[in-house]
Amino acid sequence: MNRLLFLIVTITFVSCGVTKRAVVPENLTTYSPELNNISNSEIGITLVSKEIGQNYNAIEITKEFKTKPGNLVKTIKVGDIFVNDHYTEKYDLYSNTADLTFGIAIPKNGNDNPLVYLTSFSGTGLSYKNTKETIEYKKTSVPVKQKNYFKQEFIYNGRVGNGLKFIYREYVEDYARPAFTQDLQYDLSESKIIGFRGLRIEVLNATNTEIKYKVLNHFDR
């Protein structure tokens, strides 16, 4: 009897086993805004940014729905992000970064409805279940804020006379770490071109609340 029970458990486990492979994120380098375009920004808002790292495809939920991956009913809200960090032969798997016990499986054939998948304690076994409501989403992407992630920001901080104030900020590896911040000030009477770490900005107009400008060159890391 015990041997038969062991055989049944073994067969059940193997049937749930799925070959899950990791997705390799794409290299990412983004600049904002584009060079030589006239832009406007308010005080406290980022004028220029440069982001280096890696990027995952992702989905953003556009309609709230409920699911019960375990014993508890969970609400998936509008705006929740699921990251495509694994795949199987039949599905692209989008993990819930806030709860790794379940995620969303999108069929590769493009015809069937997305499913909720559950991850076993070992992290390798998967099981799938339908939801009462259709899972609605839009495609997006998210940076990997871990190893080799680096972001630079240049923020307008107001005007005093001919002096323009800015804040330079760096993020390394993870936003959870304290950012490196430096306060900067430039004399507009000397030149309308200001610069920092390779960045060059032409100031077209500036007040205490907003600035009009063109980016001539982006940051050199």
Give me the chain's average pLDDT, please. 85
Q: What is the mean pLDDT of residues 37-54?
A: 94
Query: Given a cut of 70, is residue 16 above it in pLDDT?
Result: no
Query: Given a cut of 80, is residue 174 above it in pLDDT?
Result: no
HSE-up of residue 3 (Cα within 13 Å, Cβ side) = 0
Q: How confident is the model at residue 162 (pLDDT cuts 50, 70, 90)?
A: very high
Q: What is the pTM of this model?
A: 0.62
Q: What is the pLDDT of residues 105-151, one digit of tens each?
A: 999 998 888 999 987 644 456 888 888 888 999 999 888 776 678 89
pLDDT value of position 18: 62
Higher pLDDT, 125 or 171: 171
Domain ranges (residues) in the chain: 19-54+145-217, 63-135
Q: How confident is the model at residue 5 (pLDDT cuts 50, 70, 90)?
A: very low
**Which of 26-35, 112-121, 184-193 is predicted with the least confidence, judged by mean pLDDT?**
112-121
Query: Given a cut of 70, is residue 22 above it in pLDDT?
Result: yes
Which stretch of DSSP H or E encloses residue 158?
strand 150-160
Distance CA 192, CA 186 (A): 9
Q: What is the 3-state secondary structure (H, E, C) of 64-83?
A: CEEECCCCCCEEECCCCEEE
Contact 200, 31 (CB under 8 A): no
pLDDT value of position 2: 40
Distance CA 166, CA 184 (A): 5
Report the range out of 33-37, 52-56, 123-127 with the highest average pLDDT.
Answer: 33-37
